[in-house]
Amino acid sequence: MSSLARTTVVMLALLVVSALPAMAQQFEAEIDCGGVFAPGDQVPLTLRFENQTQQSIAIEGDVTVRVPGLGDFPYRQGNFTLGPNQDRDFNLTLNLPPNAPNGSYTVRLRAMSPQEMTFDSCSFQVQ
């Protein structure tokens, strides 16, 4: 393909993309945690979801925990529906085992609707 043909294809692609309406974000999801804990403690987690539309949205979410030196482990998974302009919080408690390794733990939230996916994370320390 000649340089002129490549330039023409790129320009046409840019025109098509710029003509598409911007996709508005339908919902937000975040997770909060933090602090310093000891093995055997309970770690509070808060998951927050916010529907930014006038329609109900089916949400599928899962939470994983990265344990220092051991890798990622599934913690919770669930499905629910957010009503129009609804905000919803879930308060969870992560029970650390008595032999929990010391270090920085990362908790990740993945949330999906049929149209989009979002991620968030937080971290805490075990000493």
**Predicted confidence (pLDDT) per residue in 65-89, tens digit:** 999 999 999 999 999 999 999 999 9
**Predicted confidence (pLDDT) per residue in 5-51, tens digit:** 454 444 444 444 344 344 567 899 999 999 999 999 999 999 999 99
| 18 occurs within a structural domain | no
Cα–Cα distance, 4 to 83 (Å, whole number): 51
- Two tokens at 41? 């403690």
Per the structure, the complete domain to which residue 50 belongs is given by 24-126
| 13 occurs within a structural domain | no
What's the number of domains the chain is made of? 1
Strand order across the 71-82 sheet: 36-37, 117-126, 103-112, 57-67, 71-82
What stretches of the chain show up as alpha helix (H) in DSSP?
3-19
| 116 occurs within a structural domain | yes
Prediction pTM value: 0.78
Pick the residue with more confidence: 114 or 5?
Answer: 114
